[in-house]
Structure formats: structure tokens, C-alpha cells
Amino acid sequence: MWLEKLFSGVLRVLTPLGPRYLNPSVAQRLYLIWVFRHFETLPVKVLSSRQRRMIEYMCANNQFVSLDMGLDETPLLGTLEQRPPVPATVAPRKPVSSVRDVGPLTADAQQ
């Protein structure tokens, strides 16, 4: 199993648009086998800056694998959860100046 991963393994990246698969080089596969040695799935936050740079490099060099390649038989090196950042707080909205007091309208609706 280790040799199969080393010579033909792919990295799955979970994105908001669905899973994408990266085809790393043999040296990158060896490193990814070490990164995912204890976990099958890791969030991007836990990766070191060197590991993130390697993933970004693979994405920038378009090392993606198409789905019609038969990925059911291809061994997975690991799964990387890449989710969009969540805003910390939502800014309060300002009232629209063109809308005036709607008090009489709500009073009419209650009657």
C-alpha cells in the first residue's frame, strides 16, 4: 500500500465547489505521506507555512487530475479541508435614509 501511494497517490482538496485532486511529484508524495501519517483529513490551519507553500505551488502549477482518470482505484495520500475564511463579526447595518418612519403603516396593518 505504501508503494502504491508513493508512486501513484493523489491529494484530495475539499473546496466549496467540491473535491479537487492534485497529482504531486514522487518527492512531494513522500512528504505528503509523512504529513498525513496519523490523519486522513487535515484542515489548512494546522499545516506549517512550508506545507502551505507546497500546496499553493502545486495548485499554481495546475497539477490537478481530471475525474475521468479512474480515481476510484487511485490511492489517496490524504484529504485537505480548504474552506473559505469566515468573517469574525458582521458590521451593523446603517438605516437607509430614504426610508421614513413606518410606524403608521404597521398600525394600519394591525387593525
Task: Over range 3-30, report the average pLDDT.
Answer: 89
Residue bearing the bigger pLDDT, 31 or 105:
31
Kindly indicate the confidence band of residue 39, based on its pLDDT and cuts at 50, 70 and 90: very high
In whole angstroms, what is the distance from residue 13 CA to residue 78 CA?
A: 9
Q: How many helices (H) and strands (E) does the chain have?
A: 4, 4
Instruction: Determine the pLDDT at residue 16.
Output: 85
Alpha helix ranges (H) inside the chain: 2-8, 26-35, 49-60, 103-110
Q: What is the dihedral of CA 19, 24, 29, 31, to 10 degrees?
A: -90
Burial of residue 98, with CB atoms counted within 10 A of its CB: 0-12 exposed, 13-18 middle, 19 or more buried: exposed
Kindly indicate the confidence band of residue 8, based on its pLDDT and cuts at 50, 70 and 90: confident
Whether the model clears a pTM of 0.75, i.e. scores above it, the answer is: no
**pLDDT tens readout for residues 55-106:** 989 888 887 887 665 666 788 999 999 754 544 555 566 666 665 655 555 5
What single-letter amino acid sits at 65? Answer: V
Query: Which of 9-23, 35-49, 66-80, 84-98 has the highest average model confidence (pLDDT)?
Result: 35-49
Residue bearing the bigger pLDDT, 109 or 39:
39
